[in-house]
Copies of this chain bind each other. A is one copy, B any other.
């Protein structure tokens, strides 16, 4: 209720949109970072003329309604990003504002501006307490995102009481330290709010924070300024009192006077000429500018797998190196691919060679420097993807733990965000257990709708990138090694489409007695263990399984054909708990269910039993 006035003001005085064309590329974006105030967003979308009828407002938080408890991207028209987990929306907004700048720098031409949208976000105390917002807002200042306006609802109330009990910091000073323009206003004084928003919008060089001091549940005689009003419904009695106090009819319970629509209708009409002009411009787009627009909006080519695997020089090298080479091709095939790392490009090698870096005032680049801020990197990448780019972000696999919340949201929203996680096992070596992923491969696999690809050599890197590019509506994680891997020899008749099953036979035996299933850096180990096991009478098939999620989506006949009926062994340098789905409870799971150690990688491979000899020995003992 406290934010209703400000939000209505944003939609009726500032935002440029056309509710009849909610996908208009140059619409201003509104992000409700405090997603728990979802009804506020639904109400204003309804009033503004989006396809969200009153009946949907009345079925708030009910099965299959368009008005779930928190706003969901792709579910409700006009919702620009899924919010709820605090801090994410602020960081998404930074990504959206950056996407506007990057796309604009690519496709605008003098006298013909196609993309220059602004982003307006509403944030609560919690949004600004979360570290992901700190990271993202520091970057927004770094990048000089003058098209970003965040309104902070400073109501001094959280679920557990007065916010100042845990949030006594000077928010204004903190954001000025990030290089933002900051305005403090009485959030219930429209003239102050509008003056600040005018100034914030006019300030083109810096992101803006408008600190609006508000009273939670304003107008509710008993609940205003209390934490009770935060997470719980007001209750019928208090609603009646509030309506009476405001001179509002008490019945019907759900009442929208016609006059409420007027300011929004006026705004839509006001924006319409600009919208029509944009469409007119767009329909006449030609030549180099049209080519640039089409390139920026192109899908990956249909033969992306053939193109990327065909370009691979399959030799002994780390998959982070093979992956980097394939990635360069991928960047050519998909011009909207935009890469960045959390200060580890020297190791992850994901920057697009020859492309400029984005910096304040220089937005025509394709490479981003996120600094050592993995969480914001993931959340900003979500904003970039929502803005039509294909973000590639990279760090060490161990630090995927810092990024889980935005990875989950990308997966839930169904957006193409590509994560390159290198240094994907204990083979990191001397850096020791804090830097050696053990459970991360599997914990990523648990995230619904995320595909995890762990390629075994250069050719599988080609598949990995092709798979990521082909998934237009979902994110993909590529897990790559620090250490060199030998290229696999594949059987006669092999073709690249077999990799697209998620798992395939790399070495076979007639009527096998054992099937070794391995991923990534353990595939050559399995291939090496096979002849050793055959010396003691086994007949051994080896399966490479670069993507278990994809394999799980294959018809059972395909799965059965690959896995066969012999006793199964899984080999992966990580936790084993997930593998029994594939090897059964009588299968032999070779993995690492404890933390690693600091020592040279070769030493660890021996100590942890990941040489061909050690694997053959373990299997023999357990048979």
Contacts and interface: CB of A to CB of B under 8 A. Distances in A.
25 contacts: A63-B597, A65-B598, A68-B430, A69-B435, A70-B435, A70-B598, A72-B432, A72-B598, A82-B434, A85-B402, A126-B343, A138-B167, A158-B371, A160-B346, A165-B357, A166-B369, A167-B371, A173-B173, A174-B177, A227-B346, A401-B408, A408-B439, A446-B575, A580-B580, A582-B585
Given A129-B371, A142-B167, 5 more contacts: A84-B431, A85-B399, A227-B346, A375-B375, A445-B577
4 closest A-B pairs (Cβ-Cβ)?
A: A131-B131, A68-B598, A166-B371, A84-B434
A85 to B, nearest CB: 6
Contacts of A402: 85, 130, 404-405
A309 to B, nearest CB: 29
Contacts of A426: none
Interface string A394-418: 0000110110110011001000000
Nearest to A396: B85
Interface in A163-194: 163, 165-174, 176-179
B595 A585 contact: no
Contacts of A62: 598-600, 603
Contacts of A593: 448
A108 interface: no
A227 B166 CA distance: 38
A131 B594 contact: no
| Copies of this protein in the complex | 2
A141 interface: yes
Contacts of A133: 131
Given A68-B432, A404-B404, A432-B69, A372 B158 contact: yes
A126 B372 contact: yes
A359 interface: yes
A554 to B, nearest CB: 16
A432 B84 contact: yes
A432 B375 CA distance: 23
Contacts of A595: 412, 448-449
A224 interface: no
A153 to B, nearest CB: 13
A374 B129 CA distance: 10
B166 A177 contact: no
**A interface residue count range (under 10 / 10 to 19 / 20 to 34 / 35 or more):** 35 or more
The residue in A142, A346, A435, A442 that gathers the most chain B C-beta atoms within 10 A of its C-beta is A346
A433 interface: yes
A35 B435 CA distance: 11
Interface string A310-323: 00000000000000
A603 B63 contact: yes
Contacts of A173: 173-174, 176-177
A373 B402 CA distance: 14
Given A134-B134, A371-B158, A597-B68, A439 B434 contact: no
A139 B166 contact: yes
A163 B83 CA distance: 31
Interface in A254-270: none
B170 A177 contact: yes
A338 B434 CA distance: 27
A62 to B, nearest CB: 6
Contact of A446 (B231, B430, B577, B594): B577
B168 A174 contact: no
Contacts of A607: 63
A584 B589 CA distance: 13
A586 interface: yes
Interface in A24-74: 35, 61-65, 68-70, 72
Contacts of A582: 585
